[in-house]
Structure 1
Amino acid sequence: MEQENIEEELKIEKEEDDGYPLNEYQLTTTPNDFNILTIISFIESKVFKIPSFQRHYVWDLKRASKLIESLLIGLPIPQIFLYESDRNEFLVIDGQQRLMTIYYFVKGRFPRKEKRAELREIFDQCGYIPDEVMADDELFQKFNLRLDGIVEGSVNRFHGKNYQTLDDYKTSLDLSTIRNMVVKPVSSDEESGAMFEIFNRLNSGGINLGAQEIRMSLYHSDFLRALLEMNKDERWRRILGKANQDIRLNDVEAILRVFAMVTYAENYKATINGFINKFANHAKSFNDEKINYYKSVWSNFLDSCSELDISNFRISSNRFSIMLFESVFYASCKDAIDQNIDTTLLITSEFLELLKADEDFKKFTYGKTTLLASVKGRLAKAKELLGG
């Protein structure tokens, strides 16, 4: 699996979750060997889609060059995993860095490190990089292979080469194949849970994708996109105790989770991940009016917590407690959402201390905290103590 250097991840205190039992699902996995020219065609025609919110392209020129060298000399490279989201439409779940390396090499251009966030936005909008953008020297440099070192007493024969100067090897590269594994559930009823867990486990080696990163790919929607904006709010960053947004999207997951609890709690059964996934899938149907309403509720809730910071949302460690935060959000916002208004209840440090000291609430935040009784118990207790 692809490795990269990432900044320190946001640490959130949350329960252990069992996820999904895979033996309940019937999946089909179909291998396809596509050659390089076909892959480039699929990217440009949007048959292959690299979903928004996946990481930026992060490989450096040396690592990218080694991948191309492997293809040139006939070494196998790791397979690509795809999710068939529709007819002739495949979401790239694992293999983004490899696919983009090949795409950039064939185009003869390598993205400048400081411009990659900007290029990601262009790619999201267009589904590919337009030729006029690719030609911009402020955004790209020439993709000449950087293969330093001596091979059998001589300089590596591919060092300094680009796609157009490979001579006979160009055709060999064009026709070299990469194994693509297409995974999909047999029944559409199983799609929401099965696809999340299969790719959660697929990415379990090395630096794996976080749960919310996977959701952003599988359940991409206007609502999830709105969460990214809500996540930037300085009031929320203060509560989290982390100014920078989390590269693994744990902060975005926290916002998604609290809205799931306050609007969808009757559908909770036994696993947090499964519950959040179902809500994320449900949220694909949200229209602009509902999304804007939830944004207003979120903003008003943050106003109601204006005197608080991360120290107020800790229980037994120095980490932000999602169980405490979601209980407080539920207590403050439940009545407003039930009545379709955006007026939330004031949250004070005194209330938080009272809640954290309550013996019943303590019981619901220790031990088997994902049990239905524990989840509903802590939500109800917070609402009761706030006067709801």
Structure 2
Amino acid sequence: MDDLEELNVSDNENVLTQEEREDLEAADETVIPITYSGQDFDVDGLVRRLDNGDMIIPRFGLSDRTVEVDGFQREFVWSKRQMDRFIETLLLEYPVPGIFLVKQQSDKRLLVLDGQQRLLTLQSFKKGVYNKRVFELKNVCEQFRGLSYEKLSDAQRRAFDNAFIQATVVNMDENPESREAVYQIFERLNSGGTQLTAHEIRVAIFTGSLVQELSILNDNEHWRSIYGPKNRRLRDHELILRIIALYLNAQNYAAPLKSFLNRFMSENRGSGENIRAAEKMFEWSVERMDNDCLIRVLKSNNPRVSTAVMESFIVSVMHLRKAGRDCSVDTLFPAAEKLMSSETYVNSCAESTTNEGKVRARLQEAWNVINDYSSQS
């Protein structure tokens, strides 16, 4: 049972779980063509667009409802040394890597798909402030050391402002295929440093009412009591999506998990009655499961409940509620004990947990056991 994959696998949340790595590396079901173009921007123009809001760096939970993408960018992670070296590269008039942008068709704004660190560095240097301090170059060659934007000579300022950065501009329409294509592009760009998870990309590309409703569910006091502190990598947010998607559509589950969840998000971006009904079932179920003794059994001597256990158990409780059956702790506790002592069930919750056979096996066994104990009540 120690092999069960935990909800928060590592104390270092930046480390991808085995399941997340497998999901990202899985081949896409279909490859979707896109339209894109190359465009050169000077630094002065890039910063002006950022300042004016014509180019934006979206983040998860962004309140601006006119932005079609909610947040695939992580927080700024470059060190001051990296920022200094990038500015120095421009002042030396050396070439720099290009950026990727998505053109939002509704208002023609440009969303930053890749290049956040570079763009925010440019903006901070030109503004003259970083981390509430004057942005002066330190980790650079002698001729630039101690310079801020205001201290640049006319020639240096021209070299900086007029430096060109190449951009690939991807056109994203409102149709699901276009969004899936952008997802696939970002996934391929997502390498090195702190990689985004499939879900961190997903909530950006398939934004809509469903993403916001999942965020509200993620704040549910009973869910927080069961799961624990919020996960900065949105693993708790993704688990709720998995539960809702499998509750409504388990019969159509097919690996890889990322494609299954992408389809579900795409088809239900605007939510709907069936989604809201499922959300109510989720809230009802986690309220009934918010019991220390029950959760202790489901943890099975591990610090946290595994993703696969939580997913299958809650989906089964939701179906039991829908059927109007008994879902009291007196029913759920012995059912949890039997499940966690079942070698077949535990194996279906350990390693390669998104395999079709394992997903179906654990959902079926969880339902059979919980339903059986409910019938005895």
> Could you say which TM-score interval applies, normalised by the shorter chain?
0.7 to 0.9
Aligned-residue CA RMSD in angstroms? 3.6
1:106 aligns with 2:123: no
- Partner SS, residue 205 of structure 1: coil
The one-letter code matched in structure 2 to 1:147 is K
Match of 2:66 in 1: none
How many percent identity over aligned positions? 27
Q: What is the Cα deviation at residue 172 of structure 1? A: 2.1
The one-letter code matched in structure 2 to 1:169 is Q
1:95 aligns with 2:115: yes
Within 5 Å, which residues of 2 pair with 1:1-388? 8-9=12-13, 14=19, 16-17=22-23, 19-21=26-28, 24-53=31-60, 54-86=73-105, 88-110=108-130, 112=131, 140-142=132-134, 144-148=135-139, 151=141, 155-163=142-150, 165-183=152-170, 188=175, 190-233=177-220, 235-240=222-227, 242-243=228-229, 245-286=230-271, 296-308=280-292, 311-314=296-299, 320-334=305-319, 336=321, 345-346=327-328, 348-358=332-342, 360-362=344-346, 364-365=348-349, 369-387=353-371
> Could you tell me whether the CA contact under 8 Å between 2:105 and 2:172 is conserved in 1?
no
Q: What is the Cα deviation at residue 13 of structure 1? A: 7.3
Q: What is the Cα deviation at residue 290 of structure 1? A: 7.2
Structure 2, gaps ≥5 residues long: 1-9, 61-72
| CA–CA separation in structure 2 for the residues paired with 1:27 and 1:338 | 45
Scaled by the length of structure 1, what TM-score is found? 0.74
| CA–CA separation in structure 1 for the residues paired with 2:87 and 2:295 | 46
Structure 1, gaps ≥5 residues long: 1-5, 113-139
> Could you tell me whether the CA contact under 8 Å between 1:13 and 1:321 is conserved in 2?
no
Match of 1:118 in 2: none
> Could you tell me whether the CA contact under 8 Å between 2:32 and 2:177 is conserved in 1?
yes
The 1:22–1:263 alpha-carbon spacing in structure 2 relative to 1, beyond 3 Å, is closer
Aligned length: 344
Q: Which moved more, 1:181-190 or 1:304-313?
A: 181-190
| CA–CA separation in structure 2 for the residues paired with 1:313 and 1:80 | 46
Q: Which moved more, 1:199-208 or 1:307-316?
A: 307-316
Scaled by the length of structure 2, what TM-score is found? 0.76
The 1:49–1:338 alpha-carbon spacing in structure 2 relative to 1, beyond 3 Å, is farther
| CA–CA separation in structure 1 for the residues paired with 2:323 and 2:160 | 59
- Partner SS, residue 247 of structure 1: coil
| CA–CA separation in structure 2 for the residues paired with 1:49 and 1:248 | 21
- Partner SS, residue 269 of structure 2: helix
- Partner SS, residue 208 of structure 1: coil
